[in-house]
Amino acid sequence: MAGTKQAATTGSEPAFACPVSPVVDIVFSRWTTPVLWALHAYGRQRFVELERRIGTITPKVLTQRLRQLERDGLVVRTYHPEVPPRVEYEISELGLSLAPLFAHLSEWGAAHLGQVEEARRAYDADPARR
Amino acid sequence: MAGTKQAATTGSEPAFACPVSPVVDIVFSRWTTPVLWALHAYGRQRFVELERRIGTITPKVLTQRLRQLERDGLVVRTYHPEVPPRVEYEISELGLSLAPLFAHLSEWGAAHLGQVEEARRAYDADPARR
């Protein structure tokens, strides 16, 4: 892993570059993941469909997230100049390149979230650690 | 991918389960990733070492993140009852299971962050989209 290379540099230099953080900022901000997931799972769709699927998201936050994802090139917005005008969103090719990563994340969750739950119970039950 | 299974359920049900979100909440909250990365890259270390490496983190936030990671079973805290007492942090076995995922994330970043930058420039240069 890249960590090996980093460990070889002077340990005391501040603000070491975590190579994961930039990806996290783009893909894993709160609500970004469910929006990408819904577009990936259900294909091209309109704003109201997305909103209904995600359920607990507000229209304002959904608008912000879609704009951010469009700007980052992960989502494509198509405007159909009809009466009334119709706007659809779909995942881009770049967004699709995240699919193996999302699959990997959800596999890790399936395999290990039980252990996280168990660790939390043990931690909360230990009075010395609270 | 699991998305296929979800698409088969009724599309209108709200609050569909995004299987990635729980992992994101645990592993990718702001500052959690750099803490895990620093522990993975530099091995067992004391609070002040971690603080110096991450650079821009405040002691308060580092304390919170370490406590959360310890509670989630991703980090192990060892207390040495010496004078003065010494406390060290290291990544747990469960935390180490994230290493392939982190490698995958940083590979995606290396391969695609350039495209994200390009998409942003194109978006920002298009007056119709601002």
| Core vs surface per residue B3-31: b (16+ CB within 10 A) or e | beebeeeeeeeeebebbbbebbebbbeeb
pLDDT digits (tens, 9 = 90+) for B4-32: 333 333 444 445 667 777 788 777 777 88
Tokens 């971690």 map to which residue? B50
Q: Taking each helix axis as running N to C, give the angle between helix B32-42 and helix B99-125, from 0 to 180 degrees, rounded to the nearest 10.
A: 130
With H, G, I as helix, E, B as strand and everything else as coil, classify residue A44. coil
Closest among A28, A122, A16, A29 to B101, alpha carbons compared: A28
Query: Two tokens at B73?
Result: 């079973």
Our CA-based measurement puts residue B18 at a distance from the nearest CA of chain A, in whole angstroms, of 6
Whole-model pTM over 0.90: no
Q: Is the pLDDT of residue B124 over 90?
A: yes
pLDDT confidence of residue B2: 38
* DSSP type of residue B128: G
What is the percent of chain B with per-residue pLDDT over 90, rounded to a whole number? Answer: 54
Please report the pLDDT score of residue B26 as a whole number. Answer: 79
> Can you give the pLDDT at residue B39?
93
Q: Which amino acid is at B83?
A: V
**Which has the higher per-residue pLDDT, B121 or A18?**
B121
- Contact across the interface for A101 and B105, Cβ inside 8 Å: yes
Strands A75-80 and B75-80: unpaired
Return the structure tokens found at B19. Answer: 């299987």
pLDDT of residue A4: 38
pLDDT for B57 = 87
Pick from B21-35, B40-54, B58-72: least confident: B21-35
Region label for B41, one of left (φ > 0), alpha (ψ between -120 and 50) or beta (otherwise):
alpha
Residue of B nearest to A114 (CA): B72
Q: Are A42 and A53 in contact (CB under 8 A)?
A: yes
pLDDT digits (tens, 9 = 90+) for A88-97: 999 999 999 9
**pLDDT tier at A34, thresholds 50, 70, 90:** confident
**CA-CA distance, B18 to A28, in Å (whole number)?**
12
Return the pLDDT at B130.
60
Q: Which chain B residue lies closest to A32 (C-alpha atoms)?
A: B21
* Cα separation values, A57 from A32, A54, A87, B27, B121, Å: 11, 6, 19, 22, 28
For residues B37 and B31, what is the distance between their CA atoms, to the nearest angstrom? 10
Interface ipTM? 0.77
- Backbone φ and ψ for B52, nearest 5 degrees, come out as -65, -40
Q: Helix and strand tally (H, E) in chain A?
A: 7, 3
pLDDT over 60 (residue A50)? yes
Judging contacts by C-beta atoms under 8 Å, the chain B residues touching residue A33 are: 18, 20-21, 24
Subunit contact A2:B103, Cβ cutoff 8 A: yes
pLDDT band at A7 (very low <50, low <70, confident <90, very high): very low
**Residue B60's pLDDT is what?**
94
Domains for chain B: give ranges and CATH numbers. 19-100 (1.10.10.10)
Residue type, B57: I
Q: How confident is the model at residue B3 (pLDDT cuts 50, 70, 90)?
A: very low
Which residues does chain A have within 8 Å of residue B108's beta carbon, measured at their own beta carbons?
Answer: 23, 97-98, 101
**Which residues lie below 8 Å from residue B101, measured CB to CB, with a gap of 6+?**
A104, A105, A108, B27
In terms of pLDDT, which residue wins out, B11 or B111?
B111
Tell me the average pLDDT of chain B: 84
DSSP string, B13-77: -SS---TTHHHHHHH-STTHHHHHHHHHHH-SEEHHHHHHHH-S--HHHHHHHHHHHHHTTSEEE
pLDDT value at residue B11: 41
pLDDT band of residue B113 (cuts 50, 70, 90) is: very high
Find the residue in B nearest to A11 (Cα).
B53
Contact B71 A99 (CB under 8 A): no
pLDDT above 80 (res A15): no
